[in-house]
Chain A
């Protein structure tokens, strides 16, 4: 809504709006609640699947599963330690729990319970974290900008950062089939559908080259792969040919695929919806060093700071995650 003040029309004021704002572009193809629907579908054929939530089922798409399988959904209340302790106990009895809350509460608050009750005995518990990285403008209480850094140190834990609805739908059965614990950086609500345009399937533990290119190579995970693909299109107009490597599994990391792509003279850039400390960039950097490869890598990610509250598009621009900011950064590097 534009407002008229002193005869001049001012631009609409961007607002924080919903806590769980969508990062989909206007008019973009989306799929509703892909995680919840995939989990509900999987449970049709696998009686071991159970769902749990800590007073956030509606906000992690778990309510779709709860509605389809009410006898296999457990509401534990806003008690994250109970959530993961109980999920561990259920797994001990042979069930395959998916336990959902926001990423901040899983990573920061329930770490000890996930670590000792789930990861150490290597149980098949699937931790589902909503609002990963910068997917809410609600401020540091809800922005899980360091969840990957926290969880990467946990032995046995597989970490998946999906790009879109295709990734999510295909990941759910693979996470359930994987014997040990997993952490899924959940995208919820109307989730963009992006990777269907490419010859791509999700394989747990594998990175994929989704777009070839001669001048620049992007290594990205999560929703930043969507932005990487958009930026690659935009950079083509500047006669810059960009390859995009999507690495949705952050741990264990597909070093073979990623390092093969980085071992070239192209400008190398990592893109992640996470602080540049302890996430994809440092995963790539340590892999390079271990293999004795000397390469400069430009990190695009969130700063090592508590972020502002505000409207999501504003914040993605401010912190360099928007398509425009990526294009700008790459052109600057090539100058």
Chain B
């Protein structure tokens, strides 16, 4: 790498790490409003959201409906707490509004819905829908010669649903090179560990056998994520194969107190613990910056 390229790279990594820290902070603030929620998942995917919103997506914060924006489809509606944090980081919604999260008449309901929130492209929550809709968006954009790409966020649990695989076949059949899927492989579902609920491994081989350009990375390694997204972007073509990035993430990442929680799917966090969580997050972040 040239000195200039190295500097650019360092700037990208720093920008994403800073964004991920702020996203995590927003998530904890929102979680405190409710006292509980899908906080663990949101912390786990903060790096992924930071790479997406800080580094990859083309959008206009003041014009969420800009026609050429890259679409970000959140199939997992319950991850909305994470996406709201990312949308605040992106400037699409005001940071102050986050404190209304999950309250009556808020634009930020607990499950993400397109009709409520600027920047929310679809109503998820019933799982296994996002990829099918993404196929339609990708087909529609290509038909209209729109260069926008379709980033779709799904969870490993959604790989249980047959509808996800129908869409995966459709995307490859239609050569949707403008479609990039990220899968949160956090290995946890509502009833327990993914491997005990319904085994989905070898996930990489499954996607690859469906014809997708398949990568698997540590979803909490910002540099690895950047490389994977860069490779997916380089691979993208109007008549290419769709891309999937399987991201192994850790529930509660960045807050050791929550990383160790046994009951992690829908976390209950005591009133006195929130500040400790924020302190741990900040200490960890400061440590990584100084390292």
Contacts and interface: CB of A to CB of B under 8 A. Distances in A.
A16 B127 CA distance: 20
Nearest to B156: A78
A58 B191 contact: yes
A78 B189 contact: yes
A195 B57 CA distance: 56
Contact of A78 (B35, B113, B123, B127): B127
Contact of B190 (A58, A108, A141, A311): A58
A15 interface: yes
A139 interface: yes
A142 B105 CA distance: 18
Interface residues of B, number: 32
A138 B158 CA distance: 19
Nearest to B126: A141
Given A19-B110, A19-B266, A79 B125 contact: no
A76 B196 CA distance: 10
B157 interface: yes
Interface of B is mostly: loop
Contacts of B202: none
Interface of A is mostly: loop
B113 A139 contact: yes
Best-surrounded residue of A18, A55, A310 (most CB of chain B within 10 A): A55
A309 B111 contact: yes
A84 interface: no
B215 interface: no
B126 A104 contact: yes
A15 B102 contact: yes
Contacts of A63: 191
A82 B164 CA distance: 14
Interface string B91-120: 000000000001111000111010010000
Given A19-B266, A78-B189, A140 B104 contact: no
A176 to B, nearest CB: 23
Contact of A310 (B33, B105, B113, B266): B105
A14 B104 contact: yes
A105 B126 contact: yes
Interface in A51-66: 53, 55-59, 63
A314 B104 CA distance: 8
B162 interface: yes
A59 B198 contact: no
A142 B104 contact: no
A55 B162 contact: no
A309 B191 contact: no
Kindly list the 4 A-B residue pairs having the minimum CB-CB distance in the complex, ordered from nearest: A77-B198, A141-B125, A309-B109, A78-B160
13 contacts: A13-B103, A14-B103, A14-B104, A19-B111, A79-B160, A104-B126, A138-B110, A139-B111, A141-B77, A308-B105, A309-B113, A309-B116, A311-B103
Interface of A: 13-19, 53, 55-59, 63, 75-82, 104-105, 108-109, 137-142, 308-311, 314
Given A59-B190, A142-B111, A309-B116, 9 more contacts: A15-B104, A17-B34, A17-B102, A57-B191, A58-B190, A79-B198, A109-B126, A139-B113, A309-B111
